[in-house]
Amino acid sequence: MILEARGLTYGYPGAADPALAGIDFEVAEGEVFGFLGPNGSGKSTTQNVLTRVLPTYEGQVQCFGESLAQQGQAYANRIGVQFEFPNLYEKLTAHENLDFYRRLFDVPTDTPADLLERLDLPRDDARPVGQYSKGMKMRVVLARSLVNRPQLWFLDEPTSGQDPEHAKAIRRLVRERAEAGTTVFLTTHDMTVADVLCDRVAFLVEGRIEVIDTPRNLKLAHRDARARVETREGDALVAHEFALDDDAGKAAFLACVRDHDVETIHTLEPSLEDVFLRVTGRGLDG
């Protein structure tokens, strides 16, 4: 395992309840592991502990087979971190931002020009990044997180601020990196992104993990065995729903399909967000 946490607990000074209340999880090499939950659930706190921004946690955390608390500079060389909000030197160009950042590492790094091109950013743009749109800034932050060719890549809402085309390209980039062996720890409240990207997900609410499983298993476990059929009845569309977990429902479904002009057929499967609500009793907005 690349990451293992046992009893991970963190409390902010003055807070009545801990932000993380003894959570357990593990992440395998090359896995895209999603930490999902509403704002304030503890997602960013977990990432901040794992990236050593918050060093004074309780419990046991191991990374690359060693205690996180005892990791030195070599750990920084092996991880990449993309934050939810753009935190760039806004008077510098994108190239200058990346070039400055890569000088902090003592391992081989990728060239700024190659990273900018990979994230669909202009290679030789003379504008300071302060003049960029939010989406462009976030792609610079994403490029920066890849400078040192990380083995463990922390992503916090990686498609935030992106148009559909760039969001799709970022999702494709994440999968490509994972397939090449990079381990990805993804924090998000976007269940669509998690469903597409993650091999496994953890549902986090109020600092506690409610469940860990694959998106497919979670949806299958909470599916409604029903189908919805729309048929054409003259000039009108008529909707029919059938239970598919008993013989009578199956027979009625087959009769409908046989005897009518069918426009659409859909199984009524829950989304990952639906499953989250059923498991946790909480919506993504808190």
Q: Are residues 195 and 247 in the same domain?
A: no
**276, part of any domain:** no
Q: Are residues 27 and 160 in the same domain?
A: yes
Q: What is the extent of the structural domain holding 131?
A: 3-220
Q: Are residues 242 and 177 in the same domain?
A: no
**69, part of any domain:** yes
Q: What is the pLDDT of residue 7?
A: 96
pLDDT digits (tens, 9 = 90+) for 30-87: 999 999 888 888 888 999 999 998 888 999 999 999 999 888 888 999 999 998 777 8
Number of domains observed in the structure of the chain? 2
| 147: number of Cβ within 10 Å | 22
Asked if residues 85 and 92 have their Cβ atoms less than 8 Å apart, the reply is: no
Last residue in a domain, options 185, 205, 220: 220
Q: Are residues 113 and 244 in the same domain?
A: no
CA 229 to chain centre: 33
| Mean pLDDT, the chain, whole residue set | 89
Q: Are residues 216 and 230 in the same domain?
A: no
Q: Are residues 16 and 61 in the same domain?
A: yes
Q: Are residues 43 and 106 in the same domain?
A: yes
Q: Are residues 216 and 239 in the same domain?
A: no
**278, part of any domain:** no
> By C-alpha distance, which of 168, 216, 185 is closest to 31?
185
Q: What is the pLDDT of residue 226?
A: 81
Q: Are residues 168 and 233 in the same domain?
A: no
pLDDT digits (tens, 9 = 90+) for 125-159: 999 999 999 999 999 999 999 999 999 999 998 98
Q: Which amino acid is at 193?
A: V
This prediction has a pTM of 0.85
Q: Are residues 34 and 138 in the same domain?
A: yes
- Strands across the sheet containing 79-82: 79-82, 152-156, 183-188, 32-36, 200-205, 208-213
**279, part of any domain:** no
pLDDT digits (tens, 9 = 90+) for 184-220: 999 988 888 889 899 999 999 889 999 999 999 998 8
Q: Are residues 123 and 82 in the same domain?
A: yes
Q: Are residues 146 and 237 in the same domain?
A: no
Which neighbouring-strand residues pair with 27? 3
